[in-house]
Amino acid sequence: MADDELIRDPKRLRALSHPLRWELIDLLTVEGSATATRCAQVLGESVASCSYHLNMLAKYGFVEEAPGGTGREKPWRATSAKQDFRLSELDEEGALAGEAAADALLEREMTVLRKRIRAHGLEPEEWRGATGIINSNTFLTAEEAAEVRTLIMGVVERYRHRLTDPDSRPEGAREVRIFTATTVAPERPEPT
């Protein structure tokens, strides 16, 4: 599984405009491969829905058939652990498609976050103390905001290989989702 370059094709971006497709990519990345039946079991969706969305993701190169299938039970795998697009680097059509993909990603992330926060109190003390929400406002220049983003991604990158290499996971390691957003507030009007 390789990390893709920036996604700029509006058609590929539109293929990411459904939250279930993000869930499928995540599941295949974590499990290595899975059939539509397995995806339906884990995600609480119908097999038909998972099969349809897997085929759409395959059409645009986000997933592919994995070896080892028998009959109609074909396994799928993600082609990349990373889907990277930047709205600032897209033309108008691409930006609209990218916004739809980003909306679907945010919808999926908020659903995951809500579920995990609700279950937070049920986790062992060591996990309750190690996880949670961080929210902070400050004033930065564009260069400083880019530096903060780079620093955060640098920490995450140190552990990324564990996602696709189960042998590198230490005992006691669990799947941990790190979601970060660096956003800038719109300019406020001057007081009158």
* Residues 39-65: tens digit of each pLDDT: 999 999 999 999 999 999 999 999 999
Higher pLDDT, 185 or 24: 24
- 149, 140 in Cβ contact below 8 A? no
Task: Match domain 10-135 to its CATH number in 3.30.70.20, 1.10.10.10, 1.10.3720.10, 2.30.30.60.
Answer: 1.10.10.10
Confidence category of residue 1, pLDDT binned at 50, 70, 90: very low
User: What's the rounded Cα separation, in Å, for the pair 110 and 22?
Assistant: 12
pLDDT in tens, 101-110: 999 999 999 9
φ and ψ at 132, to 5 degrees?
155, -170
- 29, 79 in Cβ contact below 8 A? no
Residue 77: count other Cβ atoms within 10 Å of its Cβ: 16
φ and ψ at 26, to 5 degrees?
-60, -45
* Average of per-residue pLDDT across 172-177: 93
pLDDT in tens, 109-134: 999 999 999 999 999 999 999 998 88
Predicted pLDDT of residue 18: 95
- 94, 15 in Cβ contact below 8 A? no
Class of residue 96 by CB neighbours under 10 A (exposed 0-12, middle 13-18, buried 19+) = middle
φ and ψ at 78, to 5 degrees?
-75, 145
Helices (H), 60-187: 92-119, 125-130, 142-157, 161-164
Class of residue 30 by CB neighbours under 10 A (exposed 0-12, middle 13-18, buried 19+) = middle
